[in-house]
Amino acid sequence: MNEYKQIRMIKSRLVKLGWTEGLGSHVKTLRFLSSHVGQLSTEGSEPKPFDAIPGPKGIHLWPIIGSILNFKPFTKYTPETLHQYMDELHEKFGPTVRLRLGTEAVVVSEPKDVETVFQNEGKYPKRHGFEMMSIYAKRNNLQDSISQLQGEAWQSLRSPGNRRLMKVDSALHYLGPQSEVADNFVHILATQDVSPDRLQDLCFRYASESIAVVAFNGRLGLFDANPDQGSVDFLKAAETTFEMNGRALLGKSIGHRWYRNETYKQLEKSYGLVRKVALGHIAQARESLEQRIQAGQLNTEEPNLLFSLLSEKGLSEEMVANLMISLYLAGTESTAKYMQVFFYNLAKNPEKQNKVRKEILDLLGPDGRLTAEKFLKMVYLKAALKESFRLISPTSLATSRILPVDVVLGGYKIPAGTILYLNCPRASKTHFENPYEFLPERWLRREDSTKKDSALHLTVIPFGHGPRNCLGRRFAEQELHLAAIKVLQKLHIDVHRESAFEQFIYRPFATPDKPIRFKFTKID
């Protein structure tokens, strides 16, 4: 079909949908649409075969070589700018793209297709995870971490975690101790001139200390005047563990699959230390639990995640450690890095920052204590964080799935077992008005708002979706909310004019390409 006929066909479809105003002047748009006509499906049309999915072809689909060709020096992109590369591919090929990212995969960006994926993920959702962690587990005769487990093995560990971590009020039980951690964090910002590197370190200490309250039943002492070196080493080991996994995930390490290369050796050392320290904390908790039981002092009504898991029949101490280590690692790395993203969006939008602050001060005043009741009323704060997630996603691609059944996505047959990446961050730019503006108001409920596409809620899923969403989601959100509450209650956030920062890249979470020089000033 020639271009003229393609344009006429697309125009006809748009007219039927009621898109008539100004149609004749949108020739450029129509020419773009015509290049993607193969991906416009009509009701009752026959799906196209898998091999017809557009994307880089030929040598670009070869094992190993195909992945290398995605990045410099063969393109202008690196694994850290994968999101920009995917934007280019979607612009060229449309919302459904086939390519090789480590393994052959299909990337979809249309909300309706994302919805179809989640509707067909089955009883035991399967995703593509950190390969190197599975290799480590095999070489050390350990159970895979919960993020790597599949099938019934995953379900047996996830179910007790769900019962304690996914309830609406799960994180609220820890609001008090986590607020104290946030107070320690803000005290330093208010009393010291903090360099960009120092701020990054403080964010990691804050996130680590906050999630340790949940995972290990106590503080690590990272904000003490003279922190315990063991706790500092524990935090650094957690950072290194994620850094090495990120290298493997982004294709910077391949040799670890066959031998203990340098990347694997660093992971082995760092994760080994994380396990050793975590098992020590859990053993202490076990001893404390047994002492309370013997003394008749155990309060079964007291919310205590670690105690309740250790008391669960069928859960070994190793299984409890698996859950808590995963919670700690994910809760530290992702939260610490996203704190700077959230602060940046607030700093670059002072009017919105002031609205968040007003809500906080109206409820708490400058020195008021945060309670669960008041926290639940902070709707604009929560809208601001969600808008930050929409504008700058924590990850370059939202999540992945490997479906147990054949499906049709973007008009193409996708066989069961295909790795599917869900590029929701792109959809969050293409399906909203003023997509590059920071507008928390778009998430506030309004009586006059019209019902939107039911699939649009899947454009912003920083913690995944469905039965296999992030187990620590409620805690990560609460830690980010608390950091913002405590900072904005006392300080105004600006970005210094001399900041060298240019853009956020992914390692594997959103990270400033160069340190952001924030300026924290006391409010009047």
Q: Which residues are annotated as a binding site?
A: 470
The Cα–Cα gap between 494 and 155 comes to: 45
pLDDT digits (tens, 9 = 90+) for 195-205: 999 999 999 99
Q: Which residues are annotated as a binding site for heme?
A: 470
Write down all domains in the chain, each with its CATH number in brackets.
36-522 (1.10.630.10)
Q: Is the pLDDT of residue 113 over 60?
A: yes
| Strand spans (E) along 9-120 | 96-101, 103-108
Coil, strand or helix at 422: strand
pLDDT digits (tens, 9 = 90+) for 459-470: 999 999 999 999
Judge contact between 155 and 125, C-beta under 8 A.
Answer: no
Cβ neighbours around 45 below 10 Å, total: 10
pLDDT digits (tens, 9 = 90+) for 168-188: 889 999 999 999 999 999 999
Judge contact between 339 and 332, C-beta under 8 A.
Answer: no
Can you give the pLDDT at residue 304? 86
What is the SS3 string spanning 178-243? HHHHHHHHHHHHHHCCCCHHHHHHHHHHHHHHHHHHHHCCCCCCCCCCCCCHHHHHHHHHHHHHHH
CB under 8 Å to 362, separation ≥6 — which residues? none
Coil, strand or helix at 22: coil
Instruction: State both tokens at 74.
Output: 């063969």
Judge contact between 400 and 131, C-beta under 8 A.
Answer: no
Can you give the pLDDT at residue 195? 92
pLDDT higher for 457 or 377?
A: 377
pLDDT digits (tens, 9 = 90+) for 9-25: 555 554 554 444 444 44
Coil, strand or helix at 409: strand
Mean pLDDT value across the chain? 88
Can you give the pLDDT at residue 382? 97
Can you give the pLDDT at residue 97? 97
Q: Is the pLDDT of residue 296 over 50?
A: yes
Judge contact between 461 and 428, C-beta under 8 A.
Answer: no
Poorest-pLDDT segment among 261-275, 315-329, 442-456 = 442-456
Instruction: State both tokens at 446.
Output: 């309004």
% pLDDT > 90, the chain: 67
Closest CA to 246 of 220, 221, 267, 225: 267
Can you give the pLDDT at residue 174? 94
Judge contact between 344 and 513, C-beta under 8 A.
Answer: no
Q: Is the pLDDT of residue 154 over 60?
A: yes
* pTM, two decimal places: 0.88
Question: In Å, how far from its chain's centre is CA 168?
Answer: 19
